[in-house]
Structure 1
Amino acid sequence: MSYEVDLVVPVKSLHRAKSRLLGAADRGRRDPGAHAALALALALDTLSAAAAAPGVRRVVAVTSDADVASAVREIGIESIPDIPDRGLNEALRHGARVLREADPLARLGALQADLPALRPSELAAALAASDGGRAHCPDRQGTGTTLLLAGVGGELDPHFGPGSSAAHTATGARPLLGEWPSLRCDVDTEEDLAAATVLGLGRHTAGRFCPSTS
């Protein structure tokens, strides 16, 4: 049986995003404009892939950054303000409330915004494997979470942060451990970005990343 999902994708303000990637976009020149553009590109590729995935009904970005909101709308994705702008989990709870108000029967999900190699088919496969239950996809290292899914009719109850995979498992979110490397490859460091490059970057990120030639 198919259970369509409405996804919340939190996107940080660009001046605060991805500090450990500083320099990756401009090969060490520390250009804030280049770094912000790379951080935005990660989110745009994630959102585009998520919206194209079978099984995803609606995608909403949550951000307090006007530039992010404008860019997100330009690619046809909904954006809502991050209220009260108190961190990742609060942003997800706010987005979940907005989606639930629009449809009290919606199945909710949270997707991290730093999956630049995400393939719609792999996200769709993970959604299908969840079979309508509460579940999550651990990241490449197995400790974090890239995707959290509420059970049908259930609350999102996000616990993102260090050790979030174990925290989500403790809330009853079954780990999804199938063959979907692009869904597990979130990007926090240049090493992560190199791993995503091997999988195949989305077009926005591919135009911003300057891989090392050393």
Structure 2
Amino acid sequence: MPLMPADVSFVVIVPVKPPARGKSRLDTFSPADRRDLATAFARDTVAAAQRTPYVDAVLVVTDDHRFASVLSTDGCEVIPDGVSNDLNATLRQAAAECVRRWPSAVPVALCADLPCLVSDDLAAALAQAQGPSFVRDADGTGTTLYAAPYGEFDPSFGDSSADLHLLRGADEIAVPAPSLRLDVDDPADLAEALLLGVGPHTAQAWARTEHLT
């Protein structure tokens, strides 16, 4: 486990679409199964973040009240989505809330679809997060993690986000961290995730849907 300075801590922000609307590219599954998988991905992502050293809290941003209740039971702080249809504005608003609640912590935006995530990979990335920093996804074009002190927190999630983060001066975190890079959007991603190893919520959801694929 990487060593961090004693005075450094993080709050992980996880934006989550209402599971009923998430993972539309998992179109080999029924709507109910896609909802269950999206829920499981987020719960496993959050659980890994909660286990990570130097993470003070996990703040989930979602407008799904039922899912918010589940995540509150899982030990997360939950706030509503403040800016509909604008992920980066939502993250900036959530970062402001982080500073209000945890003034000394660095806000970290983390994708919610990382069912393989293990705390060692997240900790290894956070250990290198000096100033605005990001982790490129497994496909090479997207971003799964963005961290910056509040005054510099300006994420650019969306198409070609990795290049956008570089253009805007963020440093790329180069740790291997395979579980942190594998965001699941489609059936091929899910197959790769199952080979790498998924968390318990995703394993249970997969067991309920496996016979349909």
**What TM-score does the superposition give when structure 1 sets the normalisation length?**
0.90
**1:153 shift after superposition:** 5.1
Q: Which residue of structure 1 lines up, in the alignment, with residue 186 of structure 2?
A: 189
| Residue correspondence of structure 1 range 26-175 to structure 2 within 5 A | 30=30, 32-130=31-129, 132-150=130-148, 152=149, 154-175=151-172
Structure 1: stretches of 5+ with no match in the other structure: 25-29
Amino acid at match of 1:204: H
CA distance in 1, matches of 2:54, 2:104: 15
RMSD: 1.8
The answer as to whether partners of 1:64 and 1:85 remain within 8 angstroms in 2 is: no
- Deviation track 1:106-137 (CA, whole Å, cap 9, x = no partner) reads 3111000000000001100111122x322100
Q: Does residue 26 of structure 2 align to residue 21 of structure 1? A: yes
Identity %: 43
Q: Which residue of structure 1 lines up, in the alignment, with residue 197 of structure 2?
A: 200
Structure 2: stretches of 5+ with no match in the other structure: none
Amino acid at match of 1:48: A
Partner SS state of residue 76, structure 1: coil
CA distance in 1, matches of 2:152, 2:105: 10
Aligned positions, number: 206
CA distance in 2, matches of 1:16, 1:155: 31
**1:39 shift after superposition:** 0.7
CA distance in 1, matches of 2:191, 2:44: 16
The 1:13/1:213 distance shift into structure 2, 3 A limit, reads: closer
The answer as to whether partners of 1:135 and 1:174 remain within 8 angstroms in 2 is: yes
CA distance in 2, matches of 1:179, 1:5: 20
Amino acid at match of 1:57: D
CA distance in 2, matches of 1:78, 1:190: 30
Q: Does residue 7 of structure 2 align to residue 7 of structure 1? A: no
**What TM-score does the superposition give when structure 2 sets the normalisation length?**
0.90
Q: Higher helix share goes to which structure?
A: 2
Partner residue of 1:179 out of 163, 173, 176: 176
The answer as to whether partners of 1:105 and 1:153 remain within 8 angstroms in 2 is: no
**Which portions of structure 1, spanning 4 or more consecutive aligned residues, are displaced by more than 6 angstroms?**
none
Partner SS state of residue 179, structure 1: coil
**1:176 shift after superposition:** 1.1
Partner SS state of residue 147, structure 1: strand
Partner SS state of residue 127, structure 2: helix
Q: Which residue of structure 2 lines up, in the alignment, with residue 27 of structure 1?
A: none
